[in-house]
Each structure stands twice: as structure tokens, then as C-alpha cells.
Structure 1
Amino acid sequence: MRQRLIVASKPLHGLGNRVRLVLSGRSLADSTGREFAYYWPVGSGFGARLTDLWDFQASISGITDLALRVVAPYRDPRALVDDPRAGRLPIWHIRSANALPLPQGVASWHESLAALSLSPALAESVRALHDREFGVEPYVGVMVRTHRNSHDQTKQHSPLSWYVTRMHELQEELGDIRFYLSCDTAEADARLRGEFPTATSLAKTGSYNSRTAIEESVIDLYLLASSCHILGPHYSSFPELAHFLTLGQVPLETSVGDSYAQVRPPVTLSIAGDPVVPRLRTPAGPAGTSTA
């Protein structure tokens, strides 16, 4: 029987936690010659399957994951990678909210993320919104978390007031730059759209963490990644996904870290020719037209 590697998410893990675990797990499986599988729980805490969002293999069932725990309890991924004896184990069964450690020389999971094929329906929505609102115009992506379920670190260090101040600064620096808003509450979206009338956002229709809401968040993800600069909340993996979709070409600025110390990442005007493939970028001139 071929050796296997199975990764499992917890039911309340968010999209960023799940994606980085699954993609790093697949990379680890490929690098060690193991057959790969994953468990992606769906329910009231998280309503969308990975296959609802991207072209990917299907998850194993919860019953299968539960049965696997009997013969292969969850193990520490670091110990599996570092212990030569672990290579003889028939099953590596891992549950984590983090990316798995990969052997030296193995490509980062970021590259796998950037290469994923978005579902046709979501790809159509991304392209339609991008073409209608921006076309070849560069813009700044703004991702805000103010929902009561947000992490305390996020609520403490990334208040709405920080975004307002920073967005005004960017307009002073870049002229009448426009903003794409990805807010997890209607109240935050309304406040920012009132402050910045040319800002735009996707009208949200799904209840919190429902399948529709998560599909809408993935549309947001690609619109953020297609911007030329991302403002994001501290202690959130979601804007990191947008940054990684561009293979690091679009800076992610948060309210904590170098940017908080006034050493901010530079803004380079660029556009994504196809917002479904935001890693492919073209420099943009001052008027927002491509310089290619």
C-alpha cells in the first residue's frame, strides 16, 4: 500500500488557515512521495467546499478522517519532517492551522496558490466587476475586519480610523486613486464609501461564513490581488492570500510592523491584465494607462 499524507482543518478554521494547510500539505506529500488527501469540514462555521472555489481534488469525509485517527493519530508536522524514522510510517495524519514545514528546495505553497484555477462562475464574476469598475485603471485594495468575531488583536490594532487616515494619505500621494473595499460588515463598508465616494465594493448577500459569503470573499480576494497596493488588518491571514496570489509583487501594508513605524512599503502603480491571474502584471502610467 502506498504511503499517505492527510491534512485536516478544524471546523472553525478560516479560509486562509485552510488554504495554506492544504497546499503546503500537498507540497509536502509530493516531495516525500506520499499520496495526498485532505479533510475540509463544511457546516455552520464554514459553508463552502474547496471545490466550490477552485479546481481541486475533493475532500475526504468527516467519517473517514475520524476513522483515520484510530489507526493514525494526529502528529506534529515538524517531528515528521525532522525525524528520519517517520519516513517509515504508512500514514502521516496532521491537523494544523498553519502552513506545514517543507524540506529545503521544495517550492513554497504560495506558488501553488497563484497557479490554482478559480471556479468558472467566480472567475466570470471577478472579471465582470474588474472590467466594469477599473479596466486599466490602477487602484488600492482595502480589506477591513470589524465583525464581532474578528480576533482581538485585529480589533485593537486595525481600527477603522487607521484606514481612513491612511487612505487619505494615499490619495494625497497618488492623486485621485480609487479604492476597492472588502469589508466584513455593512457598517464599515458604508462608512468608508461615505468618506471616499469613488470607492467601490461587491454587494454582499451571504450570511456570515455561509457558502455564498465565502464565494463573495474569494471574489474580493482576487480584486484585492489585482490592485497595486493592499491595506489589510493586523493578525489576519486573508489579505496575505491576496499578497501571495501576486507572488509578492503587490505590497501588503498593515497597521502593525514596518508600516506602523512609518517605514511604509512603496506604492508602484500596476495593473493585472487578467484579474483571475493577478500575478501577471503590467506597469501603469500616471493616468492609469498601461505602459507596456
Structure 2
Amino acid sequence: VGKYDSSMKYLQESKRIREDQGELETPEGANLLRSIGVVCAEQQDIDRALETCNEARCIREKTCSLDTPDGARLLSNIGSLMVRKHVNSKGSDPSQLDEALQCYEKARKIREETDTIRTDEGAQLLYGEGNAFLVRDGDKDLDAAIDRYEEAKKIREERNTLDTPEAARLLSSLASALLKRKQVDKAIDNFNQARRALELTGTLNTSDGAKVLQQLGQALLDSGEPEKAKEVLEQGIDLHPKGTQAGQNLLAMMKNAKASARKAKGDVTRK
């Protein structure tokens, strides 16, 4: 949290200057408020982030500047924050997800109209919209979520930005959704692409990396490939210390993988 304090200090000073000069209610002032909202979210203050971003939205509506790429960026932020608030509140207010999806839909339409959907930010928007669909109703909205994820993947392929940490999250989410649809081979392929992206960016040793390796290992186990699962899990154990939760999870999965491998070979005597 501390590393964002200095950023917030400068942003709040900029806001004060704009207020003093009567220049806060401008498109530039809305951008400033959005930036403050982003830092609030990084500080885990979701309510304040939403309040600030909604203030920015009101300014954009007043200044007729919502139907712009900057407006779409703001609406995407609001949608993401609403999903996070819903998850943090254990789903106490389902209407938040409907509002989030409305924000994403409007943002998507603006990006389509301004010819900025086939960009990395457009891909990120579609990823967020897919997440919102899954959180709202994992089974009912599964097809819609997969549709958004696959379109986001296509955009990143076109732009040659599939080997990034952001794309790895997209690929992992797409793979998880495909597993729910029982498309195991396709899911494994996407998990492997996520693994590759994390390897190339040196981020396989992060929490995202541990999650991808666990999910890939489990998918391989479930598809009857314990030896391949062992290889993936060994890589995870090398990268994540035994004392961490991720390390413990990977070790437990490795135990299952070894048992499955022995069973496949007809040796069930060893423990």
C-alpha cells in the first residue's frame, strides 16, 4: 500500500489545483479522477475508487465526452470495480453485476464506434466483461464469457501481445471456462499457452504462475496423463517454496499424480 501513497499525494494536489482554478469539471479533470480511483483500488479502497470514478463519469456526461476511448476506459474501470465489490461482499447485491455488465457493454460499443476495440485495452475490456459474466452466473452465462475471452485472445494474437502477464490471466480464465464446458484438450492447450506467457515474462514464480501450474496439473490428471502432470507440478514445486500455501498445494497434487502414475502402470503397492 505504501508505494501508492506518493502517487496519491501528487494526484490529490493536482485535483486541488484544478478545483481552485475551476478546471475539475473537464475531460482532463475526469481523467485525473479516474487515476485517483485506480490508485484507490490498488490500496484496496474499492468504495472510494467507485465513488471517484462515478464522479468522473458524471463529469464526462456533463461535458459530452463519455463516448470517447477515455470514456470507454473509465466505464471499464467502473465495471471492474463493481465486480470486485460484489465478490468482496460475498454476492450480497446481485444487481451490482448487472450494472457492471451494462458498463462493459457501453464501453465495448464506444470502442467499436471509435475503432479502438482491436487494441490491448479492448482485449482487456472483453476479458473483464467475460469475468463479470462468470461471476454473475457461472453456468448460465458460460457461453457469453467464453465468447468474450476468445475474442480477447484473437485481438492479442493479432497484436502479438499474447506472451504477457495480462494475456496469461486471460488464457487461464479461458481454459478454466472451457473445462466447465468439458472441452478438456482445448483447456489444456490454453493453460499451456498461459504457462508459456508466464515463462517468457519471468513471472511463473508469482501467485498467477502457481495457479496456472496447479490448474494445468489437475487438468492433465483428470485427462489421464499423470506423467505430464508430474512434469508440470515438479516445475511448480521448484519455483514455489514448500512453506507457502502454493507450495503445499503443489506438493499435495504431486502426491496424487504419483499415485495415479503408479496405478496406470499397475503398481499400487507403494505408498
TM bin (shorter chain): under 0.3
Greater percentage in helix = 2
Greater percentage in strand = 1
Q: State the structure with more CA Rg.
A: 2
Q: TM-score, normalised by structure 2?
A: 0.25
Q: TM-score, normalised by structure 1?
A: 0.23
